[in-house]
């Protein structure tokens, strides 16, 4: 899965740790998500999209 | 999504200190009061208390100085589950292999030695699989 987390996070000037705290996961999980190594659950994907001010999950997570 | 659980090992260190110190005091009291020769299995009870107390003290000191917040989120829980499954599978294969070897050439082994080897193997295997999986996921 491809993600736009890094891009959107940098646009909002949020650090990985800050995003991790908002969505209540560890920083390592955010790192894994950004690198496309881990596929999140629907709930986590929804939380991240909301934290990155996106109303659609598809704008953050792209299924290849 | 499984609920994220947060633990602060630094905050919990004080309880480990209390636990460790009580074990060490109890062991010393047993030694001083003449009950030092009480046995628990193959070990002296006071020696066992000293051992547990010292291990707990080392963990408490480590957590106090190097501890912090640990989050068990959905990814961590997935890694733990996968590492446990792999460790368990290897344990089963090894047990089957040993049983098969035992039918060919009967073996006599010391239960205490085998138990300690199995325990440490499980811990090392689990840590290894967790580390390898954390690189993958």
A48 neighbourhood in chain B, CB within 8 Å: none
β-pair type (A61-62, A2-3): antiparallel
ipTM of the complex: 0.91
**pTM for this prediction:** 0.81
What CATH number does residue A8 fall under? 1.10.260.40
- List, for residues A4-63, the tens digit of each pLDDT value: 999 999 999 999 999 999 999 999 999 999 999 999 999 999 999 999 999 999 999 988
- List, for residues B35-74, the tens digit of each pLDDT value: 877 777 777 888 889 999 999 999 999 999 998 888 999 9
Q: Is the pLDDT of residue B32 over 80?
A: yes
* B108 CB within 8 Å of a chain A CB: no
Number of domains forming the structure of chain A:
1
Distances (CA, A) of B108 to A38, B60, B127: 47, 39, 30
**Which domain, by its residues, includes A18?**
2-62
pLDDT of residue B34: 81
The structure tokens listed for B60 are: 């408490």
Closest by CA position to B76, among listed A57, A30, A19: A30
pLDDT mean over B71-98: 95
Q: What is the distance between the alpha carbons of residues B77 and B4, in angstroms, rounded to a whole number? A: 9
B1 closest CB neighbour out of A20, A37, A41: A41
- What Rg, from alpha-carbon coordinates, does chain B have? 20
Return residues 9-68 of B near A (CB < 8 Å).
none
The structure tokens listed for A42 are: 């629907």
Residue of A nearest to B69 (CA): A26
């Amino acid at each position: 899965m491809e993600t736009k987390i890094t891009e959107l996070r940098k646009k909002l000037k949020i650090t990985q740790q800050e995003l991790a705290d908002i969505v209540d996961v560890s920083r390592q999980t955010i790192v894994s998500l950004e690198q496309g190594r881990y596929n999140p659950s629907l709930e986590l994907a929804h939380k991240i999209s909301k934290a990155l001010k996106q109303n659609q999950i598809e704008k953050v997570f792209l299924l290849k | 999504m499984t609920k994220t659980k947060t633990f602060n090992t630094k905050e919990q260190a004080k309880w480990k200190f209390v636990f460790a110190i009580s074990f060490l005091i109890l062991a010393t009291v047993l030694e001083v009061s003449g009950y030092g020769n009480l046995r628990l299995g193959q070990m002296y009870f006071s020696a066992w208390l000293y051992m547990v107390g010292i291990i707990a003290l080392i963990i408490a000191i480590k957590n106090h100085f190097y501890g912090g917040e640990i989050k068990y989120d959905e990814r961590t829980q997935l890694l733990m589950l996968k590492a446990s499954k792999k460790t368990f599978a290897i344990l089963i294969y090894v047990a089957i292999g040993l049983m098969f070897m035992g039918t060919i050439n009967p073996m006599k082994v010391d239960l205490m030695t085998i138990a300690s080897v199995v325990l440490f193997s499980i811990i090392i295997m689990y840590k290894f699989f967790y580390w390898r999986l954390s690189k993958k996921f």
